[in-house]
């Protein structure tokens, strides 16, 4: 009788375990396609999470967060950029966040999003990263962020609000972190002063804006690469200078004397400027809004090649 009870308990336990394993398997996103993840953590502003887990997943994978432009979606950025194919080559996971707002832009204007753990869009994206690190045993020292236009603005905001999470960032045609600030604390507000390149200040002031988003933080910060087109009529090219000033200021580089400059790099009519090992600008002469994603160059900046 005792044996029977023991057997029954073991059987029930085994059944419970396998049911749980099946449940977990169903909760884990399928590899090799874009999948939505729900319940990734606190998400007060309803940002959706999509993920691409490559078939060729590395054992302790890196993570690339790829953030869409205004009017965009996770799906559109997944199909329109090379990150998923690059994930198959290099074994990393791609997170594609998706904005909750009707204009499909990101909130880069409210106090909440411009503050570490402030409960805004940036907080939700950070929670996607920590979810992915724990579910996939990802390498927390190899987490990267990139995006285009509004997604580039958010890339700068992520680097400023969650410096401890990211090793590097690449912003395609954005504005400095804090440049779209809404004086009235509106969420997802357009700021024409900044967009038109009239928010002009010193590297020191831009650096203080970054540091003010996570007061007291003194750890490492992501190295930043800034792309911008010289004929950008949506986010005026002055935003290139201002964003490079911002990160040069954060790293204590002298903005007025960059260390090196390469013409026609990474392609004809692009000029690459290095202010130091952690800040690189890439100015695309004759290119408007937005500069195309340079996947292979991103892989170099992130250290995959």
Ligand X SMILES: *[C@@H]1O[C@H](CO)[C@@H](O)[C@H](O)[C@H]1NC(C)=O
**Which residues are catalytic, by number?**
149
Residue 96 beta carbon to ligand X: minimum distance, rounded to whole angstroms: 28
- Closest to ligand X by CB, 148 vs 199, is 199
CB of 221 to ligand X, least distance (A): 21
- Closest residue to ligand X: CB criterion: 199
Tokens 């920590």 appear where?
130
DSSP state of 108: -
> What would you measure as the largest C-alpha separation in the chain, in angstroms?
85
User: Which residues contribute to the site for ligand X (CB under 6 A)?
Assistant: 179, 181-183, 191, 193-194, 199
CA-based R_g, the chain, Å? 21
The rounded distance, in Å, linking the Cα atoms of 121 and 99 is 8
Q: Which is nearer to ligand X, 239 or 280 (CB)?
A: 239
Question: Between 238 and 274, whose beta carbon lies closer to ligand X?
Answer: 238
Give me the helix-helix angle, 150-161 and 203-212, nearest 10°. 70
276: left (phi over 0), alpha (psi -120 to 50) or beta: left
Three-class SS state of 143: strand
Nearer to ligand X, 84 or 179 (CB): 179
Q: How far is the CB of 89 from ligand X (least distance, A)?
A: 39
Collapse the DSSP code of 162 into the 3-class scheme (helix H, G, I; strand E, B; otherwise coil) and give the result.
coil
Please report how close the Cβ of residue 126 comes to ligand X at its closest, in angstroms: 23
């Amino acid at each position: 009788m005792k044996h029977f009870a023991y057997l029954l308990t073991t059987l029930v336990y085994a059944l419970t375990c396998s049911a749980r394993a099946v449940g977990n398997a169903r909760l884990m996103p399928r590899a090799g396609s874009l999948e939505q993840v729900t319940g990734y953590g606190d998400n007060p502003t309803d940002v959706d999470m999509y993920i691409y887990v490559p078939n060729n997943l590395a054992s302790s994978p890196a993570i690339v967060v790829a953030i869409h432009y205004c009017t965009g979606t996770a799906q559109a950025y997944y199909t329109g950029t090379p990150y998923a194919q690059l994930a198959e080559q290099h074994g990393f996971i791609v997170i594609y966040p998706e904005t909750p707002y009707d204009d499909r832009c990101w909130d880069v204007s409210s106090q909440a999003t411009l503050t570490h753990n402030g409960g805004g869009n940036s907080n939700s994206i950070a929670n996607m990263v920590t979810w992915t690190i724990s579910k996939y045993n990802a390498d927390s020292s190899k987490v990267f962020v990139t995006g285009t236009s509004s997604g580039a603005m958010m890339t700068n905001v992520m680097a400023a609000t969650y410096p401890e999470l990211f090793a590097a960032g690449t912003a395609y045609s954005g504005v400095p972190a804090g440049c779209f600030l809404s004086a009235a604390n509106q969420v997802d507000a357009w700021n024409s002063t900044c967009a038109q390149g009239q928010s002009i200040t010193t590297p020191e002031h831009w650096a203080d804006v970054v540091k003010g988003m996570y007061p007291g933080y003194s750890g490492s910060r992501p190295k930043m690469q800034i792309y911008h087109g010289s004929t950008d009529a949506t986010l005026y090219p002055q935003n290139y200078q201002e964003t490079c000033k911002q990160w040069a200021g954060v790293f204590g580089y002298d903005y007025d004397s960059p260390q090196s400059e390469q013409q026609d790099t990474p392609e004809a009519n692009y000029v690459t400027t290095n202010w130091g090992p952690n800040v690189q600008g890439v100015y695309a002469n004759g290119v408007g809004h937005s500069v195309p994603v340079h996947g292979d160059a991103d892989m170099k900046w992130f250290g995959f090649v």
